[in-house]
Amino acid sequence: MNDTTSRKVPVQLAGELSDQLMGTFKVMASLRDHAPRLVPGADPVAYPVLFRLTGGPSRVSDLADCLHADVSTVSRHCTALAKVGLVEKVPDPVDRRAQVVTLTPTGEDLVHQLHVQRKEWFDTILHDWESADIEAFQGYLARFAKDVERYRDAAHG
């Protein structure tokens, strides 16, 4: 939809939204970076690996696909998480030559703590929002996320 005659959204409005989102992402990253570490040595940048593993053991390559990240990056995250006891690498039951990564009980506990912390964080942020506003925002955010995924898939075929 690059043809300006068929645009539903004015370019200026799209640009303003982009600026707002990028600013929000930066603030959220700053909050993450300055949050107290629940497990010393566990980098919050690796937490998406933990959340993905709640669905069960996975190969590093499959984790990388799900997280839309480079295999070497996810492998480094898994190694670091294993060093602090949050995940372990075990032989793949289907192919004993390969390994899968799985959450340890300590990793499961951390994921639970992170969920609780995140809910408390959002409860504090949204304390004066009306329920209808939160529901509307959820709907718009879900729609936006689907459009971003559709764009990504089209761009990377």
Domain 41-104 indexed as CATH 3.80.10.10: no
What's the pLDDT score for residue 1? 45
**How far apart (Å, rounded) are the C-alpha atoms in residues 77 and 47?**
9
Under 8 Å between Cβ of 100 and 89: yes
Residue 36, pLDDT score: 75
Contact between 110 and 38 (Cβ < 8 Å): yes
Q: What is the DSSP string of 40-79?
A: TT--GGGHHHHHHHTT--B-HHHHHHHHT--HHHHHHHHH
Tell me: the pLDDT tens digits for 106-115? 999 999 999 9
pLDDT value at position 34?
Answer: 78
For residue range 14-67, what is the model confidence (pLDDT) as tens digits? 899 999 999 999 998 888 877 778 888 888 889 999 999 999 999 999 999 999
Kindly report whether the global pTM for this prediction surpasses the value 0.85.
Answer: no
What residues does each domain of the chain span?
8-37, 41-104
